[in-house]
């Protein structure tokens, strides 16, 4: 039996590589400048498809292991063909995914073991906004989002602190709560 006192792998996170990456970025902050991309193509009606494959980061053009395609559509009740989730549901997935990835990293860095992480994300939206029936009083997007986490692992109090730190460092939480300037160009 091997008694591993301090394995670099915790929660599936290679903490040795994590700390090495942090040190590399400290030494050269240009490494941290990334650009992510999605390419979308209309299929028909509310149905369209994005491809995600390449990005820029660490001072070079990079590619994911494989290209990923994702469809989006509206359900029949919203005059679509329900080939896929709606665009707003992908935002909820992105938020859960970002907070959960952060949880695993932060817990690993703090030597806290996670056993399971589950979350439910609920977004309330009044479609009077997007339907143009809100008389300017109803916004187009979600009025509020609730994320409910259920975690098991080490000390519950420490796990709650990890959730709070993940929130404080989450890219998607920042995007969704604080907004981002968006420029739209039409050729």
Residues 17-46 within binding reach of its own copies (CB under 8 A): 17-18, 21-22, 25-26, 29, 32-46
Query: With respect to its own copies, which residue has the nearer C-beta, 3 or 171?
Result: 171
| Cα(95)–Cα(98) distance, integer angstroms | 5
Residue 74 is given by DSSP the state -
| Interacting positions 130-149 with its own copies (CB under 8 A) | 130-133, 139-149
Among the listed residues 113, 123, 154, 158, the single contact to its own copies using CB under 8 A: 123
- The reply on whether position 159 binds its own copies by CB under 8 A is yes
Q: How far is the CB of 61 from its own copies (least distance, A)?
A: 12
Taking residues 46 to 65 in sequence order and writing x for each that binds its own copies by CB under 8 A, - otherwise, the string is xxx-x-x--x-xx---x-xx
- CA nearest to 68, candidates 25, 30, 39: 39
As given in the structure block, the two tokens for residue 44 are 């028909």
- In sequence order, the 6+-apart residues with CB closer than 8 A to the CB of 135 are none
| Cα(4)–Cα(6) distance, integer angstroms | 6
Query: With respect to its own copies, which residue has the nearer C-beta, 1 or 106?
Result: 106
Among the listed residues 8, 101, 113, 158, the single contact to its own copies using CB under 8 A: 101
- In sequence order, the 6+-apart residues with CB closer than 8 A to the CB of 23 are none
Among the listed residues 4, 7, 112, 126, the single contact to its own copies using CB under 8 A: 126
| Interacting positions 69-98 with its own copies (CB under 8 A) | 70, 72-75, 77-98
| Cα(85)–Cα(68) distance, integer angstroms | 16
């Amino acid at each position: 039996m091997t008694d591993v006192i301090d394995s670099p792998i915790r929660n599936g996170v290679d903490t040795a590589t994590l700390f090495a990456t942090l040190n590399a970025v400290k030494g050269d902050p240009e490494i941290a400048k990334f650009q992510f991309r999605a390419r979308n193509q209309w299929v028909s009606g509310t149905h369209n498809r994005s491809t995600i494959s390449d990005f820029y980061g660490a001072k070079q053009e990079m590619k994911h292991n494989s290209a990923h395609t994702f469809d989006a559509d509206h359900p029949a009740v919203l005059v679509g063909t329900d080939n896929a989730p709606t665009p707003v549901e992908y935002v909820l997935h992105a938020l859960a995914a970002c907070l959960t990835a952060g949880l695993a990293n932060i817990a690993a860095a703090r030597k806290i073991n996670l056993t399971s992480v589950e979350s439910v994300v609920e977004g309330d939206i009044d479609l009077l906004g997007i339907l143009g029936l809100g008389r300017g009083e109803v916004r187009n997007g979600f009025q509020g989002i609730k994320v409910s986490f259920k975690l098991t692992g080490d000390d519950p109090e420490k796990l709650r602190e990890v959730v709070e730190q993940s929130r404080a460092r989450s890219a998607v939480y920042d995007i969704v709560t604080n907004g981002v300037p968006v420029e739209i160009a039409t050729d």
